Chain A
Amino acid sequence: DGGITQSPKYLFRKEGQNVTLSCEQNLNHDAMYWYRQDPGQGLRLIYYSQIVNDFQKGDIAEGYSVSREKKESFPLTVTSAQKNPTAFYLCASSINTGELFFGEGSRLTVL
Protein backbone atom coordinates (compact mmCIF):
# COMPACT_ATOMS: atom_id res chain seq x y z
CA ASP A 1 0.00 0.00 0.00
CA GLY A 2 1.11 3.58 -0.62
CA GLY A 3 1.96 5.71 2.31
CA ILE A 4 4.53 7.36 4.52
CA THR A 5 6.74 5.35 6.84
CA GLN A 6 8.46 6.94 9.81
CA SER A 7 11.01 5.21 11.97
CA PRO A 8 11.73 4.66 14.74
CA LYS A 9 8.35 5.00 16.50
CA TYR A 10 10.06 5.76 19.82
CA LEU A 11 13.56 7.13 20.32
CA PHE A 12 15.55 8.09 23.38
CA ARG A 13 18.47 10.50 23.26
CA LYS A 14 21.07 11.50 25.77
CA GLU A 15 22.08 15.10 26.18
CA GLY A 16 24.58 16.16 23.49
CA GLN A 17 23.71 13.44 21.00
CA ASN A 18 22.47 13.91 17.47
CA VAL A 19 19.67 11.63 16.31
CA THR A 20 18.16 11.06 12.88
CA LEU A 21 14.51 10.33 12.19
CA SER A 22 13.67 8.50 9.00
CA CYS A 23 10.81 9.36 6.65
CA GLU A 24 10.11 7.40 3.45
CA GLN A 25 7.15 7.79 1.07
CA ASN A 26 6.00 5.78 -1.92
CA LEU A 27 3.22 8.15 -2.97
CA ASN A 28 5.36 9.80 -5.65
CA HIS A 29 4.75 13.19 -4.03
CA ASP A 30 7.21 15.96 -4.79
CA ALA A 31 6.79 17.88 -1.53
CA MET A 32 7.70 16.61 1.94
CA TYR A 33 7.52 18.20 5.37
CA TRP A 34 8.60 17.81 8.97
CA TYR A 35 6.41 19.05 11.81
CA ARG A 36 6.90 19.12 15.54
CA GLN A 37 3.93 18.59 17.85
CA ASP A 38 3.86 19.67 21.48
CA PRO A 39 0.80 19.41 23.72
CA GLY A 40 -1.57 22.35 23.27
CA GLN A 41 0.52 23.97 20.53
CA GLY A 42 -0.68 22.29 17.39
CA LEU A 43 1.82 21.52 14.66
CA ARG A 44 4.83 23.69 13.91
CA LEU A 45 6.73 23.43 10.66
CA ILE A 46 10.44 22.58 10.94
CA TYR A 47 11.58 22.11 7.34
CA TYR A 48 10.01 21.39 3.98
CA SER A 49 11.20 20.32 0.56
CA GLN A 50 9.37 20.82 -2.70
CA ILE A 51 11.86 19.06 -4.97
CA VAL A 52 14.88 16.81 -4.67
CA ASN A 53 18.10 18.52 -3.51
CA ASP A 54 16.21 21.57 -2.29
CA PHE A 55 14.64 22.42 1.07
CA GLN A 56 13.55 25.45 3.06
CA LYS A 57 13.41 26.35 6.73
CA GLY A 58 10.07 26.44 8.43
CA ASP A 59 9.09 28.33 11.53
CA ILE A 60 11.30 26.44 14.02
CA ALA A 61 14.33 25.17 12.04
CA GLU A 62 17.00 26.04 14.62
CA GLY A 63 18.70 22.92 15.96
CA TYR A 64 17.46 20.71 13.12
CA SER A 65 18.85 19.67 9.73
CA VAL A 66 17.46 17.77 6.75
CA SER A 67 18.51 16.35 3.40
CA ARG A 68 16.57 15.44 0.28
CA GLU A 69 18.80 13.30 -1.90
CA LYS A 70 15.97 11.13 -3.18
CA LYS A 71 12.34 11.90 -3.91
CA GLU A 72 11.21 9.15 -1.55
CA SER A 73 13.28 10.10 1.47
CA PHE A 74 13.43 13.15 3.77
CA PRO A 75 15.38 12.37 6.98
CA LEU A 76 15.43 14.82 9.89
CA THR A 77 18.43 15.17 12.21
CA VAL A 78 17.83 16.59 15.66
CA THR A 79 21.16 18.07 16.67
CA SER A 80 22.59 18.78 20.10
CA ALA A 81 21.89 22.46 19.40
CA GLN A 82 18.17 21.84 19.81
CA LYS A 83 17.64 22.77 23.45
CA ASN A 84 14.24 21.18 23.98
CA PRO A 85 13.97 18.24 21.57
CA THR A 86 11.47 16.11 23.46
CA ALA A 87 8.39 16.08 21.21
CA PHE A 88 6.32 14.12 18.73
CA TYR A 89 7.68 14.50 15.19
CA LEU A 90 5.47 14.11 12.14
CA CYS A 91 6.53 13.71 8.52
CA ALA A 92 4.13 14.49 5.68
CA SER A 93 3.96 14.73 1.91
CA SER A 94 1.57 16.64 -0.27
CA ILE A 95 -0.12 16.97 -3.62
CA ASN A 96 -0.74 20.18 -5.53
CA THR A 97 -3.82 21.32 -3.61
CA GLY A 98 -1.89 21.32 -0.36
CA GLU A 99 -3.58 18.32 1.20
CA LEU A 100 -1.04 16.60 3.46
CA PHE A 101 -0.58 12.90 4.02
CA PHE A 102 1.06 12.08 7.35
CA GLY A 103 3.19 9.29 8.71
CA GLU A 104 2.51 7.71 12.09
CA GLY A 105 5.02 9.88 13.89
CA SER A 106 8.19 9.43 15.95
CA ARG A 107 8.30 10.25 19.65
CA LEU A 108 11.67 11.54 20.81
CA THR A 109 12.51 11.70 24.48
CA VAL A 110 15.68 13.23 25.91
CA LEU A 111 17.00 11.42 28.96
Chain B
Amino acid sequence: AQSVAQPEDQVNVAEGNPLTVKCTYSVSGNPYLFWYVQYPNRGLQFLLKYITGDNLVKGSYGFEAEFNKSQTSFHLKKPSALVSDSALYFCAVRASGSARQLTFGSGTQLTVLP
Protein backbone atom coordinates (compact mmCIF):
# COMPACT_ATOMS: atom_id res chain seq x y z
CA ALA B 1 0.00 0.00 0.00
CA GLN B 2 1.09 3.58 -0.50
CA SER B 3 0.15 6.58 1.60
CA VAL B 4 0.92 10.24 2.15
CA ALA B 5 0.71 12.22 5.38
CA GLN B 6 0.52 15.99 5.58
CA PRO B 7 0.62 16.47 9.35
CA GLU B 8 -0.46 20.10 9.36
CA ASP B 9 -3.94 21.10 8.22
CA GLN B 10 -3.01 24.76 8.44
CA VAL B 11 0.27 26.68 8.18
CA ASN B 12 0.50 30.41 8.80
CA VAL B 13 3.56 32.46 7.91
CA ALA B 14 4.35 36.15 7.64
CA GLU B 15 5.06 37.61 4.22
CA GLY B 16 8.78 37.62 3.49
CA ASN B 17 9.50 34.76 5.88
CA PRO B 18 10.52 31.29 4.72
CA LEU B 19 7.77 28.70 4.51
CA THR B 20 7.73 24.92 4.87
CA VAL B 21 4.84 22.56 4.16
CA LYS B 22 5.53 19.07 5.42
CA CYS B 23 4.94 15.74 3.67
CA THR B 24 5.91 12.21 4.58
CA TYR B 25 5.17 9.14 2.50
CA SER B 26 5.07 5.38 2.56
CA VAL B 27 5.57 3.33 -0.58
CA SER B 28 7.11 0.03 -1.64
CA GLY B 29 10.19 0.65 -3.71
CA ASN B 30 11.35 3.97 -5.10
CA PRO B 31 8.86 6.84 -4.98
CA TYR B 32 7.70 9.35 -7.50
CA LEU B 33 6.73 12.44 -5.47
CA PHE B 34 4.70 15.48 -6.47
CA TRP B 35 3.47 18.79 -5.09
CA TYR B 36 0.35 20.54 -6.34
CA VAL B 37 -1.32 23.83 -5.40
CA GLN B 38 -5.03 24.61 -5.48
CA TYR B 39 -6.70 28.01 -5.34
CA PRO B 40 -10.36 28.26 -4.26
CA ASN B 41 -12.80 26.60 -6.67
CA ARG B 42 -10.01 25.81 -9.14
CA GLY B 43 -8.24 22.70 -10.31
CA LEU B 44 -4.86 21.58 -9.03
CA GLN B 45 -1.72 23.08 -10.55
CA PHE B 46 1.51 21.12 -10.73
CA LEU B 47 4.43 22.68 -8.80
CA LEU B 48 7.25 20.17 -8.91
CA LYS B 49 8.18 16.51 -8.88
CA TYR B 50 10.91 14.15 -7.77
CA ILE B 51 11.55 11.15 -9.98
CA THR B 52 15.26 10.49 -9.52
CA GLY B 53 18.54 12.37 -9.22
CA ASP B 54 19.24 15.48 -7.15
CA ASN B 55 17.42 15.45 -3.82
CA LEU B 56 16.66 19.16 -4.08
CA VAL B 57 14.01 19.81 -6.68
CA LYS B 58 13.17 23.28 -7.95
CA GLY B 59 9.73 24.07 -9.30
CA SER B 60 7.34 26.79 -10.29
CA TYR B 61 6.87 30.16 -8.55
CA GLY B 62 10.12 29.86 -6.55
CA PHE B 63 9.11 26.70 -4.70
CA GLU B 64 11.47 23.84 -4.02
CA ALA B 65 11.29 20.52 -2.22
CA GLU B 66 13.86 18.26 -0.63
CA PHE B 67 13.62 14.51 -0.95
CA ASN B 68 14.91 12.72 2.14
CA LYS B 69 14.89 8.97 1.69
CA SER B 70 15.91 8.08 5.25
CA GLN B 71 13.11 10.18 6.72
CA THR B 72 10.67 9.36 3.88
CA SER B 73 9.90 13.03 3.56
CA PHE B 74 9.39 15.50 0.75
CA HIS B 75 8.84 18.90 2.36
CA LEU B 76 7.88 21.89 0.22
CA LYS B 77 9.83 25.10 0.85
CA LYS B 78 10.10 28.68 -0.32
CA PRO B 79 12.71 31.16 0.94
CA SER B 80 10.41 34.18 1.02
CA ALA B 81 6.62 33.81 1.17
CA LEU B 82 4.18 36.01 -0.74
CA VAL B 83 0.57 36.76 0.15
CA SER B 84 -0.33 35.28 -3.25
CA ASP B 85 1.13 31.92 -2.13
CA SER B 86 -1.89 31.49 0.15
CA ALA B 87 -3.62 28.35 -1.13
CA LEU B 88 -4.19 24.65 -0.49
CA TYR B 89 -1.16 22.45 -1.09
CA PHE B 90 -1.21 18.73 -1.84
CA CYS B 91 1.58 16.19 -1.75
CA ALA B 92 1.21 12.99 -3.80
CA VAL B 93 3.15 9.75 -4.23
CA ARG B 94 3.34 6.77 -6.53
CA ALA B 95 5.75 3.86 -6.55
CA SER B 96 8.03 3.88 -9.58
CA GLY B 97 7.30 1.07 -11.99
CA SER B 98 3.92 0.53 -10.41
CA ALA B 99 0.61 0.54 -12.18
CA ARG B 100 -0.97 2.11 -9.10
CA GLN B 101 -2.25 5.62 -9.39
CA LEU B 102 -1.20 8.67 -7.42
CA THR B 103 -2.15 8.80 -3.77
CA PHE B 104 -2.78 12.30 -2.43
CA GLY B 105 -2.39 13.71 1.04
CA SER B 106 -5.28 15.48 2.72
CA GLY B 107 -3.85 18.91 1.95
CA THR B 108 -2.35 21.80 3.93
CA GLN B 109 -3.91 25.24 3.87
CA LEU B 110 -1.15 27.85 3.69
CA THR B 111 -1.95 31.38 4.74
CA VAL B 112 0.64 34.10 4.23
CA LEU B 113 -0.08 37.10 6.42
CA PRO B 114 0.77 40.58 5.14
Contacts and interface: CB of A to CB of B under 8 A. Distances in A.
Given A33-B101, A58-B101, A105-B43, A99 B90 contact: no
Nearest to B6: A42
A101 B46 contact: yes
Interface in B57-112: 90, 92, 94, 101-102, 104-107
Chain B, interface size: which category? 20 to 34
Nearest to B109: A40
Interface of A: 4, 6, 33, 40-43, 45, 48, 58, 88, 90, 92, 97-105, 107
Nearest to B33: A98
Which of the listed residues B46, B51, B101 has the most CB atoms from chain A within 10 Å of its own CB? Answer: B101
Which of the listed residues A40, A42, A88 has the most CB atoms from chain B within 10 Å of its own CB? Answer: A42
Contact of A48 (B43, B45, B101): B101
B113 interface: no
Interface of B: 9, 32, 34, 36, 41-46, 49, 51, 90, 92, 94, 101-102, 104-107
Contacts of A90: 43-44
B101 A99 contact: no
Given A33-B101, A40-B9, A48-B101, A102 B43 contact: yes
Contacts of B49: 97, 99
Contacts of B104: 42-43
B102 A104 contact: no
Which of the listed residues B43, B44, B51, B107 has the most CB atoms from chain A within 10 Å of its own CB? Answer: B43
A48 B36 CA distance: 19
B9 A104 contact: no
16 contacts: A4-B43, A33-B101, A40-B106, A42-B104, A43-B44, A43-B90, A43-B104, A58-B101, A88-B41, A90-B44, A92-B44, A98-B102, A102-B36, A102-B44, A104-B43, A105-B43
